[in-house]
Amino acid sequence: MVDTKLLTTPVSQLRQLLQERDISSVELTQAYLNQIDAVNGALNAVITICREQALEEARVADAQLAKGQAKPLTGIPILHKDIFCTHGVRTTCGSRMLDQFIPAYDATVVSKLKAEGVVVLGKCNMDEFAMGSSNETSYFGSVKNPWNLDCVPGGSSGGSAAALAAGMAPLVTGTDTGGSIRQPASLCGITGLKPTYGRVSRLGIIAFASSLDQAGPMARTAEDCALALTVMAGVDAGDSTSADMPVPDFHAALNTDIEGLRIGLPREYFNDDLDDAVRNRVMTGLGELEKAGATLVDIDLPHSHYAIATYYVIAPAEASANLARYDGVRFGHRCDKPKDLVDLYLRSRSEGFGEEVQRRILVGTYALSAGFYDAYFNKAQQVRRIIAQDFHRAFEDVDVIAGPSAPGVAFPFGAKQQDPVAMYMEDIYTLAVNLAGLPGLSTPAGLIDGMPVGLQLIGKPFDEQTILNMAHRLQLDTDWHMAHPNLEISAS
């Protein structure tokens, strides 16, 4: 019998239990598989379960642990967002287009974690091709928020966030193109880290917007994210956009001393548009950091209000180019009995892509068309540079920039689905971080009427260490990150 409290135990504690042989990886893996069986029917967070493979990997991990050959994450179960290619395991990207796609190789992130000895439990549901802020666009159905089954978990990494919050895994992966790790982390009450663009290889991640996509870890604590990032990060010869930068041991370098660090509070993030309850929770969290020795400083990001418009030109344009490969010819969904080549293209893409993906392809193709390229795409790239310069100027005076991760708590299903602009506004505090290529982290900041809210910390380029340290200090001084939903726990 496995103590069900283990299902909400941080990785840092689980690794100690495994290394001291107080529990085996097989027992731990079986407990999480049981939990997936118990709650996934209600949550729809996991698309593919790798039951036999996981138990075999756990047995191998136990052998390594017994020989004293274990690495820091050996034997730790993990769920991957279904955007990461996994050798021999279906990878759908939440789309009918890739419903039957089985990759012949692992994404670099997956292979690095495998080499560490993690146990892959399965693949998590997600917004189709990572396009969405609520996990309502998945071909496999919406993911439910474990805090309230009538509410969304956020997106596009909503399946990963919901699974972690519900105790289905102690560690999950996500990707963040405009907030897709940080926003669902906020709505599900977990910790989510979007690294600097280029810190983690994109090889084997099914592309949405190539200049914005970035993989990162999601876990209960900043300490767990530090453990995972140390493994995930690093230059990759197969990804020309990965940065040839030294990768520190983020976990070993965790430091609770934030005395003298300056935290910038953008006036544009704390204006009258911010919900008062969210403002109060975020300011309470910042107050804890202030007590620990940090200084709060008002700053300006004067062009931040252009971020959404800029993002929704650049991201759809890149998506239009990336998704052109899905034509029904080489791989992906193919319509039945096409009359000719045009019919093959038209019906395969119309049947394979959902409404939101089609909308973004159309917008992106329009922005890239000959008559509008300069007016839209080129202009958006110029504004993107100005937005990045705002951040760089701000970082001349502060060490970290802070604000809300999302404009509110999780909202009911259907509340924004018919209003794309309202849905896009869910990422109002996160998009600019991707446009500037900066690292960002969402850490729990308490509850509003029983629903989680997140505090976002934004760092200088390749300075994930400082925001991890700051979140770690906050989590040592508070217990918000250890709150979890009251789902039935039945693993045994």
| Catalytic annotation, residues | 81, 156, 180
Q: Which residues contact 346 (CB under 8 A, 6 or more apart)?
A: none
Query: Residue 156, preceding bond cis, omega within 30 degrees?
Result: yes
Backbone angles phi, psi at 264, to 5 degrees: -85, 130
Backbone angles phi, psi at 151, to 5 degrees: -115, 160
- Tokens in use for 252? 């070993």
Question: Do residues 258 and 267 touch, judged by C-beta distance below 8 A?
Answer: no
Taken in order 359, 361, 365, 368, is the CA torsion positive or negative?
positive
CA distance 172 to 83: 12
- Taking the C-alpha atoms of residue 50 and residue 55, their distance in angstroms, rounded to an integer, is 9
Instruction: Give residue for tokens 């760089």.
Output: 392
Pairing of strands 77-81, 119-124: parallel
* CA 113/CA 171 separation, integer angstroms: 11
**Integer Cα distance of 492 and 187 in angstroms:** 28
Under 8 Å between Cβ of 319 and 486:
no
Nearest of 301, 227, 288 to residue 471 by alpha carbon: 288
Q: State both tokens at 42.
A: 């209600």
Helix, strand, coil percentages, rounded to 5, for the chain: 40, 15, 45
Q: Which of 193, 283, 274, 271 is nearest to 231 (CA)?
A: 193
Please enumerate in sequence order all residues whose Cβ is within 8 A of that of 77, keeping only pairs 6 or more positions apart, or say none.
Answer: 25, 28, 29, 32, 54, 58, 118, 119, 120, 121, 169, 170, 171
- CB-based contacts of 253-258 (< 8 A; 24+ apart in sequence): 253/226, 253/465, 253/469, 254/222, 254/223, 254/226, 254/468, 254/469, 254/472, 255/469, 256/292, 256/469, 256/472, 256/473, 256/476, 257/293, 257/469, 258/289, 258/292, 258/293, 258/294, 258/469, 258/470, 258/473
Cβ pair 471, 226 in contact under 8 A: no
* Distance in angstroms (rounded) separating the CA atoms of residues 251 and 468: 9
